[in-house]
Amino acid sequence: MNIISIDLGTTNIKVSVYDKHLTPLTTLSETVHYNRSGDFVEFDPDQYFTCIKEMICKTAAIGKTSNNEDVIQIVLTGQAESLILLDENKTPVHPAISWLDMRSRKECEELSSVFDSELCYRITGQPELIPTWPITKMLWMNRNKPDIFNQTAHYLLLKDYIIYRLCGRIAGDYSIYSFSHYFNITEKCYWEDILHYCGVKTEQLPEVLPSCSIAGTLLSAWIDSEIGLTSDTKINVGTLDHFAGMIGTGNIKEGVISESAGTVLSIATLVNAPLFSESRIPLNCGPFPDTYVLLPVCESGGFSLEWYKNEFLEDISFTDINETLMQRPHRIPPVFLPYLTGVNAPDFNENASGVFFGIHASHDKYDFALAIMQGVACLLKKNLDYMRDSGVNINKIISTGGGAKSPLWTQLKSDITKQVIELPENEEAPCYGAAMIGAVSEGFFPTFKDAVDHCVVMKKRYEPAERMEYDKTYAVFTALYHSLKDVYELNAHERMRDF
Model confidence pLDDT, tens digit, residues 305-321? 999 999 999 999 999 99
Domain stop point among 218, 242, 266: 242
Q: Do residue 166 and residue 71 come from a single domain?
A: yes
344: pLDDT strictly greater than 90: no
Cβ atoms of 78 and 9 closer than 8 Å: yes
From the list 314, 308, 427, 296, the residue with the least C-alpha distance to 375 is 308
Poorest-pLDDT segment among 303-307, 354-358, 452-456 = 303-307
Domain stop point among 197, 217, 242: 242
Q: Which residues pair with 155 in a beta bridge?
A: 85
Other C-beta atoms lying within 10 Å of the C-beta of residue 366: 16
At residue 494, the pLDDT reads 56
At residue 349, the pLDDT reads 83
From the list 38, 193, 15, 194, the residue with the least C-alpha distance to 105 is 38
In a domain? residue 437: no
At residue 260, the pLDDT reads 86
Poorest-pLDDT segment among 26-35, 46-55, 226-235, 487-496 = 487-496
At residue 498, the pLDDT reads 45
- Taking phi over 0 as left and psi of -120 to 50 as alpha, with beta for the rest, 186 belongs to alpha
At residue 493, the pLDDT reads 59
Q: Do residue 255 and residue 238 come from a single domain?
A: no
Q: Do residue 338 and residue 399 come from a single domain?
A: yes
Q: Do residue 145 and residue 12 come from a single domain?
A: yes
Q: What is the number of alpha carbons within 13 Å of residue 277 lying toward its C-beta?
A: 24
Q: Do residue 88 and residue 217 come from a single domain?
A: yes
In a domain? residue 187: yes
Q: Do residue 66 and residue 109 come from a single domain?
A: yes
Q: Do residue 157 and residue 212 come from a single domain?
A: yes
In a domain? residue 486: yes
3: pLDDT strictly greater than 80: yes
Element holding 111 (H helix, E strand): helix 105-114
Q: Do residue 277 and residue 333 come from a single domain?
A: yes
In a domain? residue 345: yes
In a domain? residue 488: yes
Q: Do residue 201 and residue 266 come from a single domain?
A: no
238: pLDDT strictly greater than 80: yes
Q: What is the mean pLDDT of residues 227-236?
A: 96
Domain that holds residue 487: 251-425+466-499
Residue 130 banded pLDDT, cuts 50, 70, 90: very high
Residue 329 banded pLDDT, cuts 50, 70, 90: confident
At residue 496, the pLDDT reads 46
Q: Do residue 236 and residue 158 come from a single domain?
A: yes
Q: Do residue 270 and residue 325 come from a single domain?
A: yes
Cβ atoms of 334 and 359 closer than 8 Å: yes
CA distances from 84 to 93, 97, 106, 206, 226 (A): 9, 7, 21, 12, 33
Domain stop point among 242, 272, 295: 242
Q: Do residue 82 and residue 54 come from a single domain?
A: yes
At residue 86, the pLDDT reads 98
Residue 428 banded pLDDT, cuts 50, 70, 90: confident
Q: How many domains does the chain have?
A: 2
Q: What percent of the chain has a predicted confidence (pLDDT) above 70?
A: 98
| Mean predicted lDDT score pLDDT of the chain | 94
In a domain? residue 450: no
In a domain? residue 448: no
In a domain? residue 212: yes
Domain holding 296: CATH number? 3.30.420.40
